[in-house]
Amino acid sequence: MKNVIKIFTIEDDAMFSKMLKYTLEKEQEYDVTCFRSGEEFLEHIHLNPDIVTIDYNLPGISGLEILKKINHYNSDISVVIVSGQEEVGVAVESYKHGAKYYVMKNEDTFTELALCIKNLTAHVNLRKEVEILREQIIDRSRYSAIIGESNAILKTIRLIQKVEKSNMLALITGESGTGKEVAARVIHYNSPRCKKPFVPINVAAIPEDLIESELFGHEKGAFTGADSKRIGKFEEAHGGTILLDEIAEMDINLQAKLLRVLQEKKICRVGSNKEIDLDVRVLVATNKHLGEKVKEGKFREDLYYRLQGFLIHLPALRERGNDSIILARQFLQSFCEQQRIGHKTFSKEAAEAILAHSWPGNIRELKAFVERAALLSESERIEADDLMFSPVIA
């Protein structure tokens, strides 16, 4: 999977600038934006280009000054200096301040620049991959297991183990806070796709007019405000897994597009007709009854049937017997370690109160509750009096 490489060029010679953009944009993966001066570029530095080419002799702020500012702002940005005259001093200064390449303006400039940028692209892609892997390692250690001993959760765990190794679409259901996203991560990190990205996206949390470009990406100028090309979550998840959370809330028009993507395994960025092949495993989650949504006319029936690949239901905590106290002890231990507040335990009465509570907010509520209790209790043993249950919402 190739990332889009964002290249900024700073060049006061309009003809040269145009030629450079033309040469570079022959490569599909480059998104090139040209600036006529350092001042203009610096106003846009926050858009975080991957690579910047700078004409050394510019009117106004000099190439060298821009290079220093870039380095100070974000030393991950790779810089190529382009110079009109051959001066050893200029080259030395450029390299001293972190430029990756120094290219002379002559008949071979464009070929040479294209080659430099190709080399830098490999470097940028490698760095991005390392970043993703680093995040994944952190994620994986965090979501290695689903804890519990009740029959209800053991049944779910067995289903998860069955679906992990396959490539099947899975529909994860359960009340709010039961651990649907955690289950999706467990599936991903135990699947052959584990070294590729896990990309969760909450479909309900994104405004309707942005969701399509968020999922599928967009081309430059596809709509007002689309000032550069952008890849969407599906492309980001290439080779890995995407979790479409709160799928029941997806706009009905977008549901038709999603169905097509699931069937054809291809997407088009907004503003483009070019189809991009996808290799993404799709997981979907919902806390709503999708069948009811179909009856209400808010969910497409064809998509509903397509999503019935493999059903994983996460039981509510009140259906999980003693799991509430098992989880509570686990959360207490890791919270105390994290906060360095020493080892704490629940008294017998506190444990009984935890077991008796119905946990309408499920694991999310339990976790917040345990952390609150750990902070409030002043002794090593947390007593029933230290517990503060959330008020019940009628």
Ligand X SMILES: Nc1ncnc2c1ncn2[C@@H]1O[C@H](COP(=O)(O)OP(=O)(O)OP(=O)(O)O)[C@@H](O)[C@H]1O
Binding span for ligand X by CB under 6 A among 175-183, 271-279, 294-302, 303-311: 175-183
Near ligand X in 266-305, by CB under 6 A: 287
Please report whether residue 154 would count as binding ligand X according to CB under 6 A. Answer: no
Q: Which is nearer to ligand X, 111 or 151 (CB)?
A: 151
Please report whether residue 181 would count as binding Mg ion according to CB under 5 A. Answer: yes
Please report whether residue 62 would count as binding ligand X according to CB under 6 A. Answer: no
Output the six-digit token pair for 105. Answer: 């303006």
Alpha carbon distance 181, 369 (integer Å): 20
Which residues sit opposite 80 in a β-bridge?
Answer: 53, 101
Q: Which is nearer to ligand X, 52 or 186 (CB)?
A: 186
Q: Which does 139 bind (CB under 5 to 8 A by kind): ligand X, Mg ion, none?
A: none
Please report whether residue 176 would count as binding ligand X according to CB under 6 A. Answer: yes
Binding span for Mg ion by CB under 5 A among 82-90, 148-156, 165-173, 178-186: 178-186
Alpha carbon distance 251, 204 (integer Å): 9
Binding span for Mg ion by CB under 5 A among 174-182, 206-214, 305-313, 358-366: 174-182
Please report whether residue 367 would count as binding ligand X according to CB under 6 A. Answer: yes
The least CB distance from residue 329 to ligand X, in Å, is: 12
Nearest to 241 by CA among 310, 173, 192: 192
Residue 39 burial (10 A CB sphere; 0-12, 13-18, 19+): middle
Show the DSSP H helices in 74-108 as ranges: 88-96
Question: How many helices (H) does the chain have, and how many strands (E)?
Answer: 15, 14
Output the six-digit token pair for 104. Answer: 């002379």
The least CB distance from residue 230 to Mg ion, in Å, is: 25
Torsion of CA 102, 108, 109, 112, to 10 degrees: -60
Q: How far apart are the first and last CA of the chain?
A: 49
Near Mg ion in 220-259, by CB under 5 A: 245
Near ligand X in 197-256, by CB under 6 A: 245
Alpha carbon distance 286, 294 (integer Å): 14
Q: What is the binding site for Mg ion (CB under 5 A)?
A: 180-181, 245
Chain contacts with ligand X (rule: CB under 6 A): 146-147, 174, 176-182, 245, 287, 363-364, 367
